[in-house]
Amino acid sequence: MKIIRPLIFTILGIIVAVFLVLGSHQKNLVVRPGVTVVEYWEKWTGPEEAQMQVIVDDFNNTVGRDKGIYVHYMSMTDIDQKTLISIAAGVPPDVAGTWDTQIAQYAALGAVEPLDDLAAAHGINEDYYLPVYWRGCHYDGHLYALVSTPGVVALLYNKQLFAACAAQLRAAGLDPDTPPKTLKEFDRYAEVFDEKSPDGQLRRMGYLPMQSWYVPQLSFWFGGDIFDPVRRRLTLDSPATLHAYQWIQSYSKRLGGQSLLNFQNSLGNIFDSPQNPFLTGNLVMEQQGPWMANYIHHLKPSMSQVLCPTSEEWKLPDRRANYAWGVAPFPSAVPGLENVSYNPFDALMIPAGARHKKEAFEFIAYVNRQDVAEKLCTMHCKNCQLRHVSDAFLKHHPNPYIAVFQELAASPNAKCVPVCPIWPEVYKELIDTGQAVTLGEDPATAVRLAQQRMQERYNRFLTMERRRESLGIN
Amino acid sequence: MTQDERQNFFKGMAFLSPWIVGFAVFTAIPIGLSLYYSFCDYSLTVERRAPLWIGLDNYRQLIHDTLFWKSLANTLYYAAMALPAGLLVSLGLALMLNANIRGQSVYRTIIFLPSLVPAIASAMVWLWMYNTQFGLFNYLLGKLHLPPVGWLGERMAMPSLALMSVWGVGNTVIIYLAGLQDVPRELLEAAEIDGAGPWRRMFSVTLPFLTPVIFFNLVMGIIGTFSVFTVPYIMTQGGPNNATYFFTYFNYDEAFKFLHMGYASAIAWIQLVITLALTAIAFWTAKKWVHYG
């Protein structure tokens, strides 16, 4: 007995020591002497992470090797918060792959480096970029980010369900072979597809406004805007925004607010799943981006190979015929206002305090080289942020409608995220407003209150900035 | 202090020092800083943007913030449902599990199991059970020829979350069970000999002896309900129409989404004061209903 106890403790001690030694063992990054290691944090996980890894490897094996730069790529969740904390701690990465929504917020707080000079030195300017993305990368006249992959929001519709409901559509005076062109027409299409189960619950909807990821940006399709940076004023109570929320409410007035929310609740939060309502046919039309083609192909392949397997669709006269879904510009409420689009994007920024800015920008510039951008956007199934794209990009892209998306991004009516430093707050407020009007609140009152609350917050931000400026702590 | 005592004192402090340093660095200093930040405009970014002293501005703004009142009302509403429900259900289960029945350990395990499931996993499961079209609850209602309910709709979302909280009472049940072991058997036997029935024995002997445990669970429950975050974050994102926007969720948004660290610190201190006030009320009433020994 005297031996057993010390023996057990010795064994336990050895196990703990082994775990500590192995646990603390990090894979050392071996680079040639004189090579600068650029730390790159990115938000993507899964296939998108692996696809970016291809680009990073390409860089390390070509430009990076020639210029003595090695990009160390790390994927992580909650990248916005981790980046911010690392900036505060003084140990940020050299490149942070965040979202467009963070650019103005971080730039206003001095958390990211301006890139004007570095971009100019690499010949990246507004002639090279699509204007909408170029605008979105700026805050207060300075460039703070470049795009890694862009997006465009368009109308996705289920061609099979259009065909299945052809008789009803024709009876309503609508063409089942073409998507709606105006918002009024869109509403009439949507109404035809609405279907209730015997217990009165909605089973299928033509369109569900609150299901859209882009409710806060809806006023773009009504000819409005959300933020006026020149007058430093939010415009949440503009006639266009009011009209947008009245439009949202028209759906709940027709079908019942609670009924709509019940339907939305029944769909669950299942975008990346075969139960996605667009794939199950519970939702016939929606606002989505070009990446949806990848999800459809992986989650419901039958919708992407109606006539033949995808690998053989190049033989078809029109490869779009192989798809059970179609894409068109989301119709505008304003006559004559065409090709309206919202263009969100993934951004690459250099956090304040980064140790290797010049080398970090070499990588950012590489990602924005036309051939590299096209390669990454093809893998991610997205459009391209550049003005000029090759014919091969349009022809061999996994999304057969990529030309529609590319055209929408190039449209003069293409809009980017409002370059408002308090955008995350405004975004939440507009989502809340959408839910409130869906549940019956008067849209005029709702947008007035939203405007009042957000303008107060923005004014407070401006006051604090002025005080900081006067004290020299901005 | 003799030399031996002094030596012992320093030895003791040396052994304590890892904890003291840890407490100071990870708890005491952050708490002190958060109090300071609550009087500042602060965004947790670069060093040159030091906290800007703004006095009581954050607290003044809170008073006029509709979301502050909404989240406070929501949290109190939730506490008013979840706290008594949790206490009563766990007490009832503990009393049942304390009875000398066959398979007692199996029942105890079954009751305790949900407490071991991570909050995110249980939230996902409940999300599907509450699903309007495919959920278990509406399926059962359908079998009874009753209309489906929008469990996570504006009116029902909060009661649904409170109902869900009862699912994880296993830990509380264990504490009650431990408390039940301390009820003197001789008193129960004496009461039985005096002709007291099971209900009488429970109300006159068992419950009075359990009041310190009930009180402990009440205080822990008050603190717990004011820290609810994960479940609404996963299940409802605070909606619909902010119907499940809890105080901690409000704090999280201000701190990490909107980057108002100073304002969020003020919210945290208000949260602490409210929790302390409610706990103090519980302690004050305890004199009248908690019996020790």
Residue A205's SS3 state is strand
Note the pLDDT tens digit of each residue in B246-255.
Answer: 999 999 999 9
What residues have CB less than 8 Å from B114, skipping those under 6 apart? B122, B167, B168, B170
Residue of B66, B128, B240 lying closest to A439 (CB–CB): B240
Task: Give the chain A residue nearest B152 (alpha carbons).
Answer: A265
Please report, rounded to a whole number, the percentage of residues in chain B having pLDDT higher than 90: 57
Min Cα separation A378/chain B (Å): 31
State the average pLDDT for chain B: 91
B45 touches chain A (CB under 8 A): yes
pLDDT, tens only, B258-286: 999 999 999 999 999 999 999 999 999 99
Average confidence (pLDDT) over B35-59: 90
- Calculate what percentage of chain A has a pLDDT beyond 90: 74
The amino acid sitting at B262 is G
- Rounded to a whole number, what is the distance in Å from the CA of A362 to chain B's nearest CA? 24
pTM over 0.95: no
- Judged against a pLDDT cut of 80, whether residue A24 lies above it is answered with no
Contact B44 A88 (CB under 8 A): yes
Contact predicate A362/A130, CB 8 Å: no
Q: What is the mean pLDDT of residues B60-64?
A: 94
Q: Which residue, chain included where needed, has tokens 């030195």? A: A121
Please say if the pLDDT value at position A358 is more than 90.
yes
CB A243 within 8 A of CB B109: no
Q: Is there a contact between A430 and A200 (Cβ–Cβ < 8 Å)? A: no
User: Rounded to 5 degrees, what are φ and ψ at B256?
Assistant: -105, -15
Non-local (6+) Cβ contacts of B31 within 8 A are: none
Assess whether pLDDT exceeds 70 at residue A268: no
| Amino acid A26: pLDDT | 52
Residues of chain B positioned with their CB less than 8 A from the CB of A199: 142, 147-148
A vs B, Cβ pairs < 8 A, gives: 101
Radius of gyration for the alpha carbons in chain A, expressed in angstroms and rounded: 25
Q: Residue B52 pairs with which residues in a beta bridge?
A: B41
Distance CA A236, CA A456 (A): 12
Chain B nearest-CA residue for A426: B258
Q: Which residues are A70's β-sheet partners?
A: A37
Residue B196 has pLDDT above 90, yes or no: no
Which secondary-structure segment (H or E) carries B159?
A: helix B157-166
Give me the phi and psi of A60, to 5 degrees please. -60, -30
Task: Compute the residue count for chain A.
Answer: 474
Distance of alpha carbon B19 from alpha carbon B33, whole angstroms: 20
pLDDT per position as a tens digit, A52-96: 999 999 999 999 999 999 999 999 988 998 999 999 899 999 999
Instruction: State both tokens at A263.
Output: 């339907």
Contact A201 B133 (CB under 8 A): yes
